[in-house]
Amino acid sequence: MEALRSSLNCNHTRKIRVVHDNTKLKLKKKSCLFLSNSKRISPLRFCLDSVKPKGSVDQESEILVWPSPKDKIPFWKRDFPLSHVRAEGLPNIKDTDLLHIVHITAELAPIAKVGGLGDVVTGLGRACLSRGHKVDIMLPFYECIHKHNINELELVTTYASYHDGNWVPTNAYHGVVSGIEVIFIEPSNHFFKGESVYGGSYNELEAYLFFSRACLEWMQITGKEPDIIHVHEWQTSVLPLLYWDMYHYLSLQKPRIVLTIHNMEHYGECSQEQLNKCGLDGSLYGTLDKAVDDRTIGHNPERLSLLKGGIVYSNAVVTVSPTYLTETLCSGWLTRTLMQNRDKYIGILNGIDTTIWNPATDAFLPINYDALKVGGKKICKQFVQKGLGLASEDTENNNAAVRIPLIVCITRLVAQKGLHLIRHAIKLVEQLGGQMIILGKASNTQVEREFEDLANLHNKDSNIRILLMYSEELSHMLYAAADMVLVPSIYEPCGLAQMIGMRYGAVPVVRKTGGLADTVFDIDDHSQPEMANGFVFEGIDEESLDGALHRAFSYYQEKPNDWNRTVQNVMKIDNSWNNTAGKYIDLYNSIRVK
Ligand code: ADP
């Protein structure tokens, strides 16, 4: 706790008064990042000036007002500060042989996050930074990024970068996000315009080809030669080709390239003509040992895969969990390429950034708590229940013996995530008398419509809420409110939801695949009781899920003491980057040029 206090630079205890159905509860609460700056106090908490002793932050009192579905502004849409996390708060491991690492990415949490990629780049970047390395991130300057969430934003370079026979005037801005230096690339054409990170009305493939080259062009113009260029996913997988076949001849000598594959399903399908647009000769890459998509050999025309090219051309290739590494070496069309590059292909489990995901300091929560004092979690649950119009134990039943388990599922609504199992869980949770909240966003209109129908059917009940949107703020509140977090993925390269859930005391119910198999171990598997931390099922059929959910619900309802112990145990599990950032550093060191 001392480390936590000093890392957060605040050392106070304050009182929060919770208005609790006309009863005022007094709770002692450890303060958070925002304590010393009243403007930054979570808007869910209202300072009572009348009871606040002047000049004393220590005894500041706040009142918590329960939200309601009738609130004009939903409780998760109030005005939270996003750029609140600084570089501090990470453990004090210092490396001696320091590196300059530049991540080139399509996502960055929290300002341009769609899924786990954004979390990973921010978390890994911050972990390396805290170990003493120099870390920069290069990101497209998406029109949808809220500039007020970027610190110290300034235009640093105006230059031109190549696209389809033209040199496009381009701006590079510098800013700081969550303590990390970010270079934002803003072309003057229509790329990256629109209301969301993906799905704008421009050609996405061409935009990322442009972005990848624009990053190298910027390094060339500014003379920056990092030790490591770390690219992610298909969007930036052309960069290793551009580096080794163009920029290494032009100017850049020092960098070596790491590619992390977060999800093998997206492989950057590209035609030779499209590849020409970034200045490479596409016809040179259509071979088995370079970038041809093996499945299209003999077709007219054959296609290229940027991801495959990235695997071939990078100095090291990482995927995001050891089990997913094994899975990808056994099945899928990229297996042959991965086997041929086996000596440079490794699995490193993702971590979570435990400063950003910390129930003891999280500004989005109505009240903070930690593994030693879990009481606040119950308030978080009631807060969400009241805000969404769900029955809550304190009011509706007034019977402490009735325990209503609340399970949340926070996910992109895509086939990979086990949509039929999510739909089945809704029915089952209702039957079992529990509560379920789905926070999900679909990118496919058919899936969106299906879940909208489900939302229309269920959202008036007292037990199910289906919220079809992306909300970082609400996701934090839901993890805190939840007794369980459901991750029924068909395949899952790593999965962060189960790790975040555990950090917030939500016990995971997961399918045994990829990174879920590496992080969740069944409570009823007595072969490794010290690892047991959740409920695991194997099949992709509904009965398999039934078994795990039944077991979880019975455990919750029939063994409250054991359950509470499990909650505390899962909160103490260290899934932070402290465990795995060192493996990336070792990898960087193994390929760097000294
Ligand atoms: P993936 O990268 O496949 O989307 P992960 O489990 O690795 O899955 O990471 C998902 C991340 O995105 C988590 O931080 C999760 O909380 C977040 N997330 C997913 N869907 C939503 C949503 N609708 N609203 C807010 N956060 C979401």
DSSP string, 197-224: SS--SS-HHHHHHHHHHHHHHHHHHHT-
In single-letter form, the type of residue at position 333 comes to W
The residue with tokens 């039943």 is 397
Q: Is the pLDDT of residue 104 over 50?
A: yes
- The answer, yes or no, to whether any atom of ligand 1 lies below 6 A from the CB of 266, is no
- The answer, yes or no, to whether any atom of ligand 1 lies below 6 A from the CB of 515, is no
Cβ neighbors of 70 (< 8 A, separation 6 or more) are: none
**Rg of the chain over CA atoms, in angstroms?**
24
**Distance in angstroms (rounded) separating the CA atoms of residues 365 and 170:** 40
The DSSP element (H or E) to which 187 belongs, if any, is strand 180-187
H-type alpha helices, 89-203: 116-130
In three-state form (DSSP H/G/I as H, E/B as E, the rest C), the secondary structure along 281-314 is: CHHHCCCCCCCECHHHCCCCCCCEEHHHHHHHHC
Please, are residues 419 and 494 in contact by the beta-carbon 8 Å criterion? no
Output the pLDDT for position 60. Answer: 39
Distance 496 CA to ligand 1 centre (A): 7
Question: What is the band of 461 on the pLDDT scale with cuts at 50, 70, 90?
Answer: confident
Q: Is the pLDDT of residue 35 over 90?
A: no
365: left (phi over 0), alpha (psi -120 to 50) or beta: beta
Please, are residues 344 and 358 in contact by the beta-carbon 8 Å criterion? no
Output the pLDDT for position 11. Answer: 33
Comparing 579 with 470, the larger pLDDT belongs to 470
- Ligand 1, residue 497: give the atom nearest the CA: 6
Q: Is the pLDDT of residue 586 over 80?
A: yes
- The answer, yes or no, to whether any atom of ligand 1 lies below 6 A from the CB of 472, is yes
Distance 510 CA to ligand 1 centre (A): 15
- The answer, yes or no, to whether any atom of ligand 1 lies below 6 A from the CB of 511, is no
Mean pLDDT calculated for residue range 330-343: 97
Q: Is the pLDDT of residue 50 over 80?
A: no
Output the pLDDT for position 8. Answer: 33
Output the pLDDT for position 424. Answer: 98
**Distance in angstroms (rounded) separating the CA atoms of residues 546 and 538:** 11
Q: How far apart are the first and last CA of the chain?
A: 40
Q: How many CB atoms lie within 10 A of CB 181?
A: 17
Question: What is the band of 579 on the pLDDT scale with cuts at 50, 70, 90?
Answer: confident
Distance 410 CA to ligand 1 centre (A): 6
Output the pLDDT for position 462. Answer: 74
- Ligand 1, residue 496: give the atom nearest the CA: 6
- Ligand 1, atom 20: closest residue by C-alpha: 411
Cβ neighbors of 423 (< 8 A, separation 6 or more) are: 450, 454
The DSSP element (H or E) to which 4 belongs, if any, is helix 2-8
Please, are residues 264 and 319 in contact by the beta-carbon 8 Å criterion? yes
Which stretch of 40-44, 174-178, 500-504, 554-558 has the lowest confidence by average pLDDT? 40-44
Output the pLDDT for position 527. Answer: 92
- Ligand 1, atom 9: closest residue by C-alpha: 116
In three-state form (DSSP H/G/I as H, E/B as E, the rest C), the secondary structure along 556-571 is: HHHCHHHHHHHHHHHH
- Ligand 1, residue 441: give the atom nearest the CA: 23
**Distance in angstroms (rounded) separating the CA atoms of residues 441 and 414:** 9
Return the best residue to mutate from 108, 410, 413, 510 for the ligand 1 pocket (most ligand atoms within 8 A of CB): 410
Cis amide leading into 529 (omega within 30) = no
Mean pLDDT calculated for residue range 554-582: 96
Q: Kindly give the pairing relationship between strand 269-270 and strand 304-305.
A: antiparallel
- Whole-number average pLDDT of the chain: 89
- Ligand 1, residue 417: give the atom nearest the CA: 3
User: What are the tokens at 173?
Assistant: 């801005």
In the three-class reduction of DSSP (H, G, I as helix; E, B as strand; rest coil), residue 24 is classed as: strand
Give the relative orientation of helices 577-591 and 116-130 as an angle to the nearest 10 degrees: 80
Cβ neighbors of 105 (< 8 A, separation 6 or more) are: 117, 121, 137, 138, 139, 231, 232, 233, 235, 236
Mean pLDDT calculated for residue range 94-105: 95
Output the pLDDT for position 31. Answer: 32
* pLDDT above 90 coverage of the chain, percent: 82
CA-nearest of 48, 49, 51, 75 to 62 is 48
- Ligand 1, residue 515: give the atom nearest the CA: 7
The DSSP element (H or E) to which 428 belongs, if any, is helix 419-432
Distance 413 CA to ligand 1 centre (A): 10
Return the best residue to mutate from 264, 468, 475 for the ligand 1 pocket (most ligand atoms within 8 A of CB): 475
Q: Is the pLDDT of residue 138 over 90?
A: yes
Distance 216 CA to ligand 1 centre (A): 30
Output the pLDDT for position 103. Answer: 98
Q: Is the pLDDT of residue 26 over 80?
A: no
Which tens digits make up the pLDDT trace of 482-520? Answer: 999 999 999 999 999 999 999 999 999 999 999 999 999
Question: What is the band of 94 on the pLDDT scale with cuts at 50, 70, 90?
Answer: confident
Output the pLDDT for position 81. Answer: 60
Output the pLDDT for position 79. Answer: 79
Distance 140 CA to ligand 1 centre (A): 20
**Distance in angstroms (rounded) separating the CA atoms of residues 334 and 327:** 11
CA-nearest of 332, 139, 350, 296 to 231 is 139
In terms of Cβ atoms closer than 10 Å to its own Cβ (0-12, 13-18, 19+), residue 56 is exposed
**Distance in angstroms (rounded) separating the CA atoms of residues 576 and 415:** 28
In single-letter form, the type of residue at position 341 comes to N
- The answer, yes or no, to whether any atom of ligand 1 lies below 6 A from the CB of 122, is no
Distance 500 CA to ligand 1 centre (A): 10
* pLDDT above 70 coverage of the chain, percent: 86
Q: Is the pLDDT of residue 231 over 50?
A: yes
- The answer, yes or no, to whether any atom of ligand 1 lies below 6 A from the CB of 198, is no
Distance 115 CA to ligand 1 centre (A): 4
Q: How many CB atoms lie within 10 A of CB 168?
A: 16
Output the pLDDT for position 78. Answer: 87
Q: Is the pLDDT of residue 36 over 90?
A: no
CA-nearest of 261, 202, 265, 253 to 232 is 261
> The pTM is what?
0.90
Comparing 586 with 88, the larger pLDDT belongs to 586
Q: How many CB atoms lie within 10 A of CB 546?
A: 17
Query: How does DSSP assign 390-419, residue by residue?
Result: ---IIIII--TT----EEEEEEEESGGGTH
- The answer, yes or no, to whether any atom of ligand 1 lies below 6 A from the CB of 119, is yes
Comparing 136 with 96, the larger pLDDT belongs to 136
**Distance in angstroms (rounded) separating the CA atoms of residues 536 and 570:** 15
Distance 119 CA to ligand 1 centre (A): 9
CA-nearest of 517, 465, 507, 504 to 486 is 507
118: left (phi over 0), alpha (psi -120 to 50) or beta: alpha
CA-nearest of 293, 379, 301 to 65 is 379
**Distance in angstroms (rounded) separating the CA atoms of residues 530 and 508:** 16
Please, are residues 486 and 408 in contact by the beta-carbon 8 Å criterion? yes
Helices (H) and strands (E) in the chain, counts: 18, 21
In single-letter form, the type of residue at position 113 comes to K
Q: 183-194 burial by CB neighbour count: b if 16+ within 10 A, else e?
A: bbbbbebebbee
The residue with tokens 């100095």 is 315
